[in-house]
Chain A
């Protein structure tokens, strides 16, 4: 549906805010208040959530590494993040002489704001089990338990994560220093490459749900028809890997690889500007976990034991949502605690030679299966043909790789000599 037709059919406001029944009727003061309330709750909630996430990550890693972790500020060290934040705020705000001052100051915002905005489209609660479709009633108005449900839905998430790349890229670029520059070059290449894999694995979800709206995606998964098995797990795995790379978290943290680039793009940042990057990183982790839950695990869906009162509508769905999200938060922490870091070229290899072709092939086969179901063809034959096609494609890709490698070795005689030396055990 083109944008113009969309606007024609549902009106400009609904096109922007989507299927939320709250805004389909007349907009009066209560509606505005409800929206403001939602904004406040989500903003405060996510801020507190991030503070707890930082604490939780440090604590969990400490447990994995035989350490105690933060335990001084507040009970169990819960206020450690607050204390760190306070310290950072009171530090001197250094702007390097050679930096581009405006861009240098702008970059942290480009990183932090999209991280907040992405969370607006995540359905946090609401009962999806019966025909309610995730609506709840607040002050006599039916509404979704999410800040906004735009028609473009999940594209909003892709757009925001693309803008966040600018934050990282410009931060390194504007610092006027060599380590941040290398970090930002890595960031740009890595995040753009993995955006492609992310989008392609996401496409399978959209294919099944038939909608971009996050509420619609969650609704399509109700009744245990979660996308993780409906799409056949592979897109989920690709999405998680690509999401980790997108987040710049280990093992894909080459952007800020401490051991190589000191601090990567944020080397020159200090004080509150640094705190903003730090906050954005953890915010993105939380948001990405929420997005994974929404896309593949049915969002807040889960058994509500027939309850339709506030427990069944608000509490239980949110508990399910949070429990699912928590699993992924733990997963990201475990990655960080155990895995060594990839090298730049290996990250690129993985992205372009494995994840993107695989995601594309999976998408095509899934589309084939859907068409087969519509047309009444034999599903097995379609899958067989699809797999044969994928193997042929993969073979071609491999062949191309080998030939280009051989060509490169022929062109670079020194490298060829070295690889020959390796085979003879060092003696000529």
Chain B
């Protein structure tokens, strides 16, 4: 039997339900539970309900957890989300497809290019246009750099959450260097609005190879330092190994993807399973763990940085010349200089920036592998210039529901290790 058999998944779900790690209540059941108090019975150890967040140093933004503690042991927990909800999906329905990326890039602000990519790919699928080769390669390059910066942020916060405060600064330092490259290309450190339907916003600047080579030459050495500082460190291992264990079928039945699913030994990476862009031509390894614990998730992310560097080297070798965005005048705004010369260009410019281009009726789901897992964009078009419905499947949001299961019967000190290893970005969770 494999982990994906439906009977195995069902039994996993039953187990999660029995553990109260997943609660599905009807309204009457919920009513009966309202005003719940932990046991005051003398026969059982006394329990205490503690609130963690939304203002707490290590809940990664505004995550709130309600913990039921027995001493320092967590018996039950409940994540509460929504403190950062700004209705971005609804906002997306009022923005043209050209404006869309500015909106979605603010969801997962640590890996913004992936959300832009998913949005753009969904739009292109509806439009039925093919992005020029160079545009696709640039997209691949930039998202891999972004993956590195996102994983570096994870390493930084994971170190800090476990008390290794130095690690936070080191991770941040390296991330800053990758952000510098992103800034050189896109003009912004975050919220790039770089990948747009039809291609990318701008070509790679002159000298990008040197800058990128300098970056990917320096990072492997720094990763060795991280290994020295953390990977082999006995306290570090003691804090992470065997903490927050999840099995493959539990992870699948909770819809988990990304490093959490791979840490269970289940090799699921969309770059390999459903190749998009040119990942089918890339030579890289999908990193998997064995035990599904926090340590595996840490090691996977560390190792994925090395794999990303491998991919980047291959991309740099094979980067073709040519257009970086599609030469379809109905989709791509004309260059500024053309507007002075051509009436057509002026009209196109005006139309695209006011009412946007019309996208044929239909619906589509496109998924990419973000640093946190499957990031999908579900788009419905009614033939107008704005999406009828735009939904982003955020891996942070889906992964977050593993928390009650991972935390069950662990220590209070483990909560921070576990939250950190799930690596939720609250901007993406709440949207």
What is the interface of chain A, defined by CB distance below 8 A to chain B?
Answer: 61, 64-67, 178-179, 182, 185-186, 250-251, 253-254, 257-262, 336-346, 414-415, 418, 421-422, 425-428
Instruction: Check if A342 sits within 8 Å of B3, measured CB to CB.
Output: no
Q: Given A66-B170, A178-B48, A260-B412, is A426 in contact with B265 using a C-beta cutoff of 8 Å?
A: yes
C-alpha spacing A189/B167, complex, angstroms: 29
Q: Judge whether B184 is part of the interface by a CB distance below 8 angstroms.
A: no
A-B contact count (CB 8 A): 117
Q: A343-B238, A422-B291, A427-B1 are in contact. Are A337 and B166 (CB under 8 A)?
A: yes
A426 lies within 8 A of B412 (CB): no
Q: Is the CB of B247 within 8 A of A342?
A: no
| B310, CB-defined interface residue at 8 Å | no
Judge whether B415 and A65 touch: CB under 8 Å: no
Contact assessment for A427 and B163 in the assembled complex, using a CB-CB cutoff below 8 Å: no
Task: Give the residues from 285 to 337 in chain B that come closer than 8 angstroms, CB to CB, to chain A.
Answer: 290-292
Are A337 and B415 CB-contacts (below 8 A) given A262-B57, A421-B247, A425-B265?
Answer: no
> Is B347 interfacial (CB-CB < 8 Å)?
no
Stretch at the interface among B206-214, B227-235, B391-399: B227-235
Minimum Cβ distance to chain B for residue A426 (Å)? 3
- 0/1 interface trace, chain B 200-240, chain A, CB 8 Å (1 if under): 00000000000000000000000000000110010110110
A341 contacts B163, C-beta separation under 8 Å: yes
Pick the contact of B166 from A338, A425, A426 — CB < 8 Å? A338
Residues of chain A contacted by B167 (CB below 8 angstroms)? 340
Q: Is the CB of B1 within 8 A of A182?
A: no
Kindly state whether residue B129 has any CB partner on chain A within 8 Å.
no
In the complex, which range does the number of interface residues on chain B fall in?
Answer: 35 or more
Contacts A340-B159, A428-B8; A260 near B416 (Cβ below 8 A): yes
A340–B236 touching, CB < 8 Å: yes
Residue of B nearest to A337 (CB): B166
Question: How many Å lie between the Cα of A262 and that of B409 in the bound state?
Answer: 21
A178 to B307, CA, bound (A): 44
Q: Does B249 contact A (CB under 8 A)?
A: yes
Q: Is the CB of B169 within 8 A of A340?
A: no
Which residues of A sit under 8 angstroms from B56, Cβ to Cβ?
Answer: 262
Complex Cα–Cα for A341 and B167 (A): 12
Q: Out of A337, A345, A415, A425, name the residue touching B290 (CB < 8 Å).
A: A425
**Residue from A344, A415, A418, A427 with most neighbouring chain B CB atoms (10 Å):** A427
> Once bound together, how far apart are the Cα atoms of A428 and B1, in whole Å?
8
- The 8 tightest CB contacts between A and B, nearest first, are A341-B163, A426-B247, A65-B169, A340-B164, A259-B58, A426-B248, A340-B162, A343-B413
Pair B166/A65 contact, Cβ less than 8 Å: yes
> What is the bound-complex CA distance between A418 and B15, given in angstroms?
12
